[in-house]
Amino acid sequence: MKKILLLGTGGTIASEMSPDGLTPELGPQQLLRYVPAVSQLCEVDCLSLFSIDSTNITPAHWMRITRVLRERYDDYDGFVISHGTDTMAYTAAALSYLVQGAKKPIVITGAQKPINYDSTDSKLNLTDAFTCACSELIHGVCIVFSGRVILGTRARKTCSKSFAAFSSINYPELAQLHDHRLMSYIEPDYLPAPRFYEEMDEKVGLVKMIPGTDSELLDFLLRRKDALVVECFGVGGLPSYDNDLLFDTVRRYTDEGRFLVMTTQVQNEGSDLSVYEVGHRLKSNRRVLEAYDMTSEAALAKIMWILGQTRDADEVARLFYTPVSHDILYRG
Catalytic: which of 9, 12, 91, 127?
12
> 2-10 and 78-82: which strand pairing?
parallel
Query: 70-79 burial by CB neighbour count: b if 16+ within 10 A, else e?
Result: eeebeebbbb
Instruction: Write the DSSP assignment of 199-240 as a string of letters.
Output: -----EEEEE--TT--HHHHHHHHHH-SEEEEEESTT-----
Q: Is 12 noted as a catalytic residue in this protein?
A: yes
Closest CA to 204 of 299, 287, 283: 299
Angle at 93 between CA 91 and CA 98, to 5 degrees: 90
How are beta strands 99-100 and 227-232 bridged, if at all? unpaired
- Angle CA(47)–CA(51)–CA(55) in degrees, nearest 5? 130
Strand 195-196 to strand 204-208: parallel, antiparallel, or no bridges (unpaired)? Answer: unpaired
DSSP, res 324: S
What is the helix, strand, coil percentage profile of the chain, to 5?
30, 25, 45
Phi, psi of 318 (to 5 degrees): -60, -45
Any idea what DSSP says for residue 121?
A: S
Residues involved in catalysis:
12
